[in-house]
Structure 1
Amino acid sequence: MNEAQRAALKAASGWYARLCSGASDASEQQAWQHWYDADEQHRQAWQQVEMLREQMGLLPGPIASSTLRGVDHGRRRLLGSLAVVGLALPLGWFAWHSDTRRYWLADYRSDVGERRQWQLSDGSQLMLGTASAAQWHTDGQRRLLRLVSGEAMIDSPNETRPLLVETRHGLVRCQGARFCVRSDEQSSQVAVLEQRVEVAPLHDLQAMQPLAAGQQLRFDVERLGPQRPNDAATAAWTQGSLIALDQPLGEVIAELARYRHGVLRLDPALAGLKVSGSFPLADTDRALAALEHSFPLRVVRRSDYWLTLVPRGV
């Protein structure tokens, strides 16, 4: 692939993200048409992007001219080139919007410390954990949920249309299942509670791997991590609890910090201390008091929004 082809693919990816965002207007669509008509390489790049979306069942609708419909499916061999340059959609939407803009554009949002639940238009139940957001799209062929940030539990009815859950790192697909998905800057995690799903990383969306009930895995844009069994902590957040099972205190505090405003710091000397217990996410002050009572540490309060855990006696 030469530089001109790479540039055309990058431009096609950007246009696709904009036109699929739901925020484009007539002038932007006209500008896309001008770009599309200007060069044969532009048209070829657009076809490659559409083929990838079509292969994954993700085309959101007829946003391009009818001349793009009769694509030569023999060109699917070119999909690997898209992955090489990091253009394996459907995640162009994540690249196009900033984190803050994605959050406020989302159909469903929760605040810090909140857990919220909705019924989606297909009958699925969606629960979002703290500071989370999701976009929802459905049509006659597919159901698509973009996890913009944070964590979600999806309980989806079994039907012929696939349910697709996007994160910035890849894709989860099922016909019907109950599962949790969590996404941060580095990676995403999926844990299946009932039925089964398939998972693929962003840069290899053709390599769907099955994941059965009772199993979980973490993935980034390049690869899937090893499968491991769920445990009592896996979906505890949906019940408002953080369950620690011989877990480093640093990880516990990092999780509690997600559920409160302000700064929650930990003295590095305590980071490796192993703790076990169940802690309420709706009342992080009570959770911190329980840690202070049970382990050799104390909570130093500069204010209600600035807390530090230090070794007891310091």
Structure 2
Amino acid sequence: MTIEPVSRIRHATLQQAAHWYVTLQEHDCPGALHEQWRQWLAQHSEHQAAWHYVAGVGERFAPLREQVAHTGQVLRQERARGLTRRQSAKALALLGVGSLLGAAGWRVSTQAGWTADLATGVGDRRQVRLDDGSQLWLGARTAVDTRFDRRARWLGLRFGEVLLQASAPDVRPLRISTECGEMEVGSGLARLSVRQQEGHTRLNVYQGHVSVSTARDRLRREVPAGQGIDFTASRFDPPTAAQASGESWTWGVLAADAMPLSELVDTLGRYRHGHLGYAPAIADLRVMGTFPLDDTEQALRLLEAALPVRVRRLTDWWVSIEPA
């Protein structure tokens, strides 16, 4: 079963699908609810896509399904002690979405990583010496393809984050490709980081210079040492200073200098299992400080101390950051 990307389905629809999925797993679910589910499913193609997504994730991540069922029992017990049925259903639906979507992200990235030349899992970092003597660091949940021959050196970043320390001068061109475009490293020593998220690439150049061309419109930019740039397949954002966070993760810390909270949370999420999300209202809050990647619970405590936010935990697998 194909799992649709989360970005193509509205979050509210995924919540509905997860609620139905959890509800229908209950042994005492009456037939009337099954009929209501079928009616909901037939209302819109997006409902069907969301259902296939959530059901596919549930089938592939049985241990989390068991946790959802256990938590459903706990919530029903809480309801008996005063929690309303609506509150219980809402919490259970949130748990279903969080756990299942967290599992989906892990599963999809893991499957893609199986066929990559180099890959890491959740919370992993890896350092590799390439054929030309260059050093490559892979962050968590990263997959890279390599192709080195007599004519060229090529790295393909499928997803995740890498830091590259280029070796001594080599006559062969050195290129790094993502879904958004291609970066060619200038001759000589160079140090740069590349992060690939869905539909978006970030380049930081610490040493040397890099020529970038977008995948769709073939726009070109030169990025010198000390600068960085964000780009998609069809456009460039204005250049900025190279971000310290692009290389600090190799030391096990995330150095945030006016970093959007959304970016910080997305990075921390690659270093812990389950779902780590944030309320849209606080996505653009700017974060300053240094956060440990190998102890994300401590990082979340530091985040609470630094910003007007609170960390809400429904389970170990569902954590969300909300306005305080």
Paired with 2:306 and 2:222, the residues of 1 have a C-alpha distance of 41
The equivalent position to 1:152 in structure 2, one of 140, 162, 168, is 162
Q: 1:129 — aligned with what?
A: 139
- 1:279 equivalenced with 2:275 (yes/no): no
Which is further off, 226-235 or 152-161?
A: 226-235
Q: 1:184 — aligned with what?
A: 197
SS of the equivalent of 1:203 reads coil
Kindly indicate whether the alpha-carbon contact (under 8 Å) linking 1:151 and 1:180 is maintained by their aligned counterparts in 2.
yes
SS of the equivalent of 1:261 reads coil
Q: 1:40 — aligned with what?
A: none
- 1:117 equivalenced with 2:127 (yes/no): yes
Amino acid at match of 2:148: T
Unpaired runs of 5+ residues, structure 1, are: 1-97
Per-residue deviation at 1:293? 3.4
Q: 1:166 — aligned with what?
A: 177
Per-residue deviation at 1:208? 4.2
Q: 2:248 — aligned with what?
A: 236
- 1:104 equivalenced with 2:117 (yes/no): no
Unpaired runs of 5+ residues, structure 2, are: 1-107
Amino acid at match of 1:190: L
Q: 1:143 — aligned with what?
A: 153
Per-residue deviation at 1:122? 1.1
- 1:291 equivalenced with 2:303 (yes/no): yes
Per-residue deviation at 1:270? 4.0
Q: 1:210 — aligned with what?
A: 222
How many equivalent residue pairs?
214
Percent identity reads 39
Per-residue deviation at 1:220? 1.5
Kindly indicate whether the alpha-carbon contact (under 8 Å) linking 1:193 and 1:213 is maintained by their aligned counterparts in 2.
yes
Per-residue deviation at 1:267? 3.9
Which is further off, 128-137 or 243-252?
A: 243-252
Kindly indicate whether the alpha-carbon contact (under 8 Å) linking 1:200 and 1:224 is maintained by their aligned counterparts in 2.
no
Which is further off, 113-122 or 240-249?
A: 240-249
Q: 1:262 — aligned with what?
A: 274
CA-based RMSD:
2.2
- Residues 187 and 292 (structure 1), Cα distance of their counterparts in 2 relative to 1, 3 Å cut: closer
SS of the equivalent of 1:235 reads helix
Q: 1:83 — aligned with what?
A: none
More helix by share: 2
Structure 2 length-normalised TM: 0.60
Per-residue deviation at 1:138? 0.9
Q: 2:257 — aligned with what?
A: 245
Kindly indicate whether the alpha-carbon contact (under 8 Å) linking 1:103 and 1:149 is maintained by their aligned counterparts in 2.
no
Kindly indicate whether the alpha-carbon contact (under 8 Å) linking 2:262 and 2:283 is maintained by their aligned counterparts in 1.
yes
